[in-house]
């Protein structure tokens, strides 16, 4: 059975690599595209930041609930919550890109030590949001291919990374929100 599970898992490896590379590249490219500056008559989607920050908060909550569910051997609930967390992350990504394609970036206006704290949180959030992509994909594939022991091993890394990204997304929003125009 284990060999079958490993073979099933290997089918997904190419997709994991492709998505882990393509997603950050596409987001970076689209982040630099401003439709209004390109002459398109679009309204700035300035209402999105509190929505996608809320999605990050909900994602963090869902991740914790999924963790508790698996601790209590509620496998079906854990699976549904994890799939929901992935969908929430995708919704966040779409809204984040849409906001930045239609709106000017907001500059952080804090000063002193808090400015360094903000940039530390922001930089670690952005870097780990890229790093966590293959971890989430590998963890998910190991679950759906029934490689549960391997799934557990990587989930111990994926969970805190993903939770950190979700929580720091909210913190970044809270810290920059006074500076939105």
Q: With CA atoms as reference, report the closest residue to 142 among 128, 157, 131, 160.
A: 157
The tokens of 95 are what? 């809204």
pLDDT of residue 1: 58
Q: With CA atoms as reference, report the closest residue to 66 among 88, 93, 99.
A: 88
Per-residue pLDDT tens for 129-176?
A: 999 999 999 999 999 999 999 999 999 999 999 999 999 999 999 999
pTM for the whole structure: 0.91
Query: Which band of pLDDT confidence, cut at 50, 70 and 90, is reported for residue 37?
Result: confident
Q: With CA atoms as reference, report the closest residue to 69 among 159, 144, 149.
A: 159
Q: Which string of DSSP letters, residue by residue, matches the chain?
A: -HHHHHHHHHTTHHHHHHHHHHHHHHHHHHHT--TTTTT------TTHHHHHHHHHHHHHHHHHHHHHHHHTT-HHHHHHHHHHHHHHHHHHHHHHHHHHHHSPPPPP---THHHHHHHHHHHHHHHHHHHHHHHHHHHHHHHHTT-HHHHHHHHHHHHHHHHHHHHHHHHHHHHHGGG--
Report the percentage of the chain scoring pLDDT > 70.
99
- What are the C-alpha distances in Å from 59 to residues 66, 79, 162, 168, 170? 10, 14, 9, 12, 10
**Mean pLDDT lowest among 36-45, 54-63, 121-130:** 36-45
Has residue 8 got a pLDDT over 80? no
- What are the C-alpha distances in Å from 17 to residues 10, 28, 68, 113, 123? 11, 17, 30, 38, 23
**Mean pLDDT lowest among 33-37, 85-89, 129-133, 174-178:** 33-37
Q: Are 65 and 81 in contact (CB under 8 A)?
A: yes
The pLDDT mean for the chain works out to: 94
Per-residue pLDDT tens for 40-60?
A: 989 999 999 999 999 999 999
What CATH number should be reported for the domain whose range is 2-36+48-179?
Answer: 1.20.120
């Amino acid at each position: 059975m284990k060999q079958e599970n490993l073979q099933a898992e290997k089918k997904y490896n190419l997709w994991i690599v492709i998505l882990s590379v393509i997603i950050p590249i596409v987001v970076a490219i689209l982040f630099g595209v401003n439709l209004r500056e390109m002459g398109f008559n679009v309204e700035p989607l300035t209402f999105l930041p509190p929505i996608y920050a809320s999605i990050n908060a909900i994602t963090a909550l869902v991740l914790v609930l999924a963790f508790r569910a698996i601790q209590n051997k509620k496998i079906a609930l854990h699976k549904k919550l994890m799939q929901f967390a992935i969908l929430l992350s995708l919704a966040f990504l779409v809204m984040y890109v849409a906001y930045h394609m239609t709106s000017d970036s907001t500059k952080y206006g804090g000063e002193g030590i808090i400015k360094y704290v903000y940039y530390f949180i922001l930089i670690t959030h952005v870097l780990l949001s890229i790093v966590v992509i293959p971890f989430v994909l590998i963890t998910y594939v190991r679950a759906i291919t029934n490689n549960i022991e391997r799934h557990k091993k990587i989930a111990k890394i994926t969970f805190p990374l993903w939770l950190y990204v979700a929580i720091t997304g909210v913190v970044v929003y809270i810290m920059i929100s006074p500076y939105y125009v």
